[in-house]
Structure 1
Amino acid sequence: MADNTIGHGRAEIHITHADLGRRVSARRILEIAEGRPVFGDVVGVLTSWDGGVLTVVDRTGAAVQIRENALVAAKAVPPAPVRRGRGAVAAHRAVGAPELQRIAGRGWPATTTEPLGAWTLRAAAGFTRRANSVLVSGDPGLPLDQALERAVDWYRERGLPVYLQITTSEAREDTDDALDAELAARGWTVEQAALLLTAPLAPVVDCVPTVPTVPTAASTATPHHVLLSREPGDAWLSRYHHVADPARARVARAVLGGGPSVWFATVPGPEGEPATAIGRCVVDGRWAGFGAVEVGSDQRRRGLAGAVMATLARAAADEGADLAYLQVEPDNDGALALYDRLGFSTHHRYHYRRSPS
């Protein structure tokens, strides 16, 4: 792109399409007031540049669109420093369980939702329980009998079983233990327990050496390269065990690609084969949510899961995140050992209660 000239100053634009995926600083014209331009600045990750429009995702996760003819100055800037210290350590422990579940819900969005008071009914054609369950958070705005009846009807209309996601903890008071006991008395059964872990983001960046990273799957990459992208490619999906059914690929892509600012990491396998390792991270303000970290069974114990997490953590830190969360099954000993080394600890537990009807 050629330099633009505004007034008596000469603008300098030092970014190209090769800077996609990098952190940039951009100044653009917001409006013309009384014959003079009003400028606005944005710093964030350059995520797309199509049809004469640039998209920069700032540290809050907001996508700022800039027309080429409004851009007056731009340059690539160093990655944001990872925030450290006691503040980040205290913050990841202090956040309430309901708020953290809402953040996690935004990071794994259903394709169809409907509020029920403070509850959220979620559906995504059966792709994962998390996206096909009631996010319980506060008062449903109805007596419990009526709220449960409404939930049962809503899911029946969509041909889905009824699950309520229930938060529990022995150490916290802001959980759903009373509701859990009531549902148990009504015959609602427990399915699929999980732990929600949190940590400061800095140790995830620091503990594992970052392996070479290339920006697109088109690059020539050895099995030790981690590819970063904004979409899950075919190789990524072929490794992800939840998309074994091709009929679910469309809705899976919608859920996986949803969220404020999503990154996918891929360690390529041999040509035509599934990826060797994959991971996903969604950035939501201060929070980076990790998930879908999977490594081929014949490639484990080589540090690939840690390399994927470190690469995703660096991308999240570049967008201003300094806290991390993830969900893991309590009997996944290998994953828990890795997450413990990266500084994660249990914030709370949750499980799903299934309707007896």
Structure 2
Amino acid sequence: MEFTAGGRLEVRITGADVGKRVSVRRVSEEGPAGRKFTDTVGVLTSWNDGVLLITRRNGERVAIDASSLVAGKVVPAEPARRRGPSATYPELARIASRAWQPVERELLGEWELRAASGFTRRANSLLPVGDPGLPLDDALRYVEQWYGDRGLPAYAQTATGAQGTQEVLCAELEARGWAREVSAELRIAALAPIGDAADDPGVVLSREPGEAWLGRYQRKGADEVALKVLCAGPSVWFATAPGAGDVPAAIGRCVVDGRWAGFAAVEVDPAQRRSGLATRVMTALARRALDEGASAAWLQVEAENDGARALYDRMGFATHHTYHHYRAPERRCG
């Protein structure tokens, strides 16, 4: 915290600092034992009617009455992580979008509208990175109309912990009635250690998923649109670990895009979980990606998937940011 020359705490932030990372101290309780204080660090996403809204890295929002502040300052961005590759949010957001491509795509300024007949939110949501070239309300109206013309709900994929303006956009969407529905982490790691695990010649790699692979894939009814999404990308590989019958014991998908290898659809027979199958599948895919020149890995995992998160922790993956899907409010006619 900042002190004045007299040694007293000082509030050095104002509404002009919205969008910046700040550290604040506030009075959280007063009683016979004296004052108790609470510290909060995050992005100042709004300051309206005497209330500050600070978004922490995990997406949690903290509302603070300005009258309770005893100290506050703008603080530098979080230091670079000590493990794994370095990357910016725009780079990773666009890498992830290329790895899960929609069937239909349109640009609104630097924003990307994506549609794939409703197959997954990622392929049917706005990616608002950069400037839409319009005032925000006009841009959002265009987005809602674009998805409405296709019979789809309007979703926007935003992020927190991304060291940019995404936290402010999240707050702006919520102020306009957009509801957060799903959150997940995007994690990154060095690729070589993943490929260093014991080789498993039983894992088969292919350029297309095939009937056996699709038999294990959880999203049943993989139609033509789903297959287009699954097979699209700069360099796509599918891994299959054979099982006792026609359905594989485990599967996985990897998209190689420059230095990045993105893992997805890693699924294991429930009866064989925690037997190392997921690691074997990812190792085979990592080795192929290393052969193609990749050096860094990324994947996405939902916040409540504790089993997968524990596995990725052991493999060296660290959270880069948390992304969220916001759904536009229903508009009534008349």
Taking structure 1 as the reference length, the TM-score comes to 0.68
Match of 1:173 in 2: 163
Aligned length: 250
1:250 & 1:268 partners in 2: Cα distance? Answer: 25
Q: How big is the shift at 1:203?
A: 1.1
Match of 1:211 in 2: 200
2:84 & 2:231 partners in 1: Cα distance? Answer: 25
Match of 1:315 in 2: 288
Matches within 5 A, 1:283-298: 283-298=256-271
2:150 & 2:236 partners in 1: Cα distance? Answer: 28
Residue 204 of structure 2 corresponds to residue 227 of structure 1: yes
Residue 180 of structure 2 corresponds to residue 190 of structure 1: yes
- CA separation of 1:110 and 1:91: change in aligned 2, threshold 3 A: farther
Asked whether the equivalents of residues 158 and 323 of structure 2 are also in contact (C-alpha less than 8 Å), the reply is: yes
Q: Percent identity, aligned pairs only?
A: 58
2:260 & 2:297 partners in 1: Cα distance? Answer: 5
Asked whether the equivalents of residues 85 and 190 of structure 2 are also in contact (C-alpha less than 8 Å), the reply is: no
User: What one-letter code is carried by the residue in structure 2 that aligns with 1:140?
Assistant: P
- Deviant stretches of 4+, over 6 Å: none
Structure 1: stretches of 5+ with no match in the other structure: 1-88, 213-224
Match of 1:142 in 2: 134
- CA separation of 1:109 and 1:351: change in aligned 2, threshold 3 A: same
Q: How big is the shift at 1:94?
A: 2.5
SS at match of 1:334: helix
Asked whether the equivalents of residues 268 and 274 of structure 1 are also in contact (C-alpha less than 8 Å), the reply is: yes
* Residue deviations 1:192-235 (CA, integer Å, cap 9, x gap): 100000001011112x31211xxxxxxxxxxxx11100000111
Match of 2:243 in 1: 269
Taking structure 2 as the reference length, the TM-score comes to 0.73
Match of 2:57 in 1: none
* Residue deviations 1:144-180 (CA, integer Å, cap 9, x gap): 11111111111111111110001111xx422400010
SS at match of 1:125: coil
- CA separation of 1:92 and 1:158: change in aligned 2, threshold 3 A: farther
Matches within 5 A, 1:314-333: 314-333=287-306
2:169 & 2:94 partners in 1: Cα distance? Answer: 18
User: What one-letter code is carried by the residue in structure 1 that aligns with 2:163?
Assistant: E
Match of 1:240 in 2: 217
Asked whether the equivalents of residues 97 and 175 of structure 1 are also in contact (C-alpha less than 8 Å), the reply is: no
Matches within 5 A, 1:1-357: 92-169=84-161, 172-206=162-196, 208-212=197-201, 225-242=202-219, 244-245=220-221, 248-271=222-245, 273-357=246-330
Structure 2: stretches of 5+ with no match in the other structure: 1-80
- CA separation of 1:129 and 1:190: change in aligned 2, threshold 3 A: same
User: What one-letter code is carried by the residue in structure 2 that aligns with 1:125?
Assistant: S
User: What one-letter code is carried by the residue in structure 1 that aligns with 2:116?
Assistant: A
Q: How big is the shift at 1:270?
A: 3.3
SS at match of 1:135: coil
SS at match of 2:310: helix
2:209 & 2:115 partners in 1: Cα distance? Answer: 21
2:295 & 2:85 partners in 1: Cα distance? Answer: 13
Q: How big is the shift at 1:91?
A: 9.2
SS at match of 1:356: coil
Q: How big is the shift at 1:337?
A: 1.1
User: What one-letter code is carried by the residue in structure 2 that aligns with 1:286?
Assistant: R
Q: How big is the shift at 1:334?
A: 1.0
Asked whether the equivalents of residues 110 and 255 of structure 1 are also in contact (C-alpha less than 8 Å), the reply is: yes
Q: How big is the shift at 1:186?
A: 1.1
Asked whether the equivalents of residues 93 and 347 of structure 1 are also in contact (C-alpha less than 8 Å), the reply is: no
Asked whether the equivalents of residues 98 and 174 of structure 1 are also in contact (C-alpha less than 8 Å), the reply is: no
Q: How big is the shift at 1:182?
A: 0.9
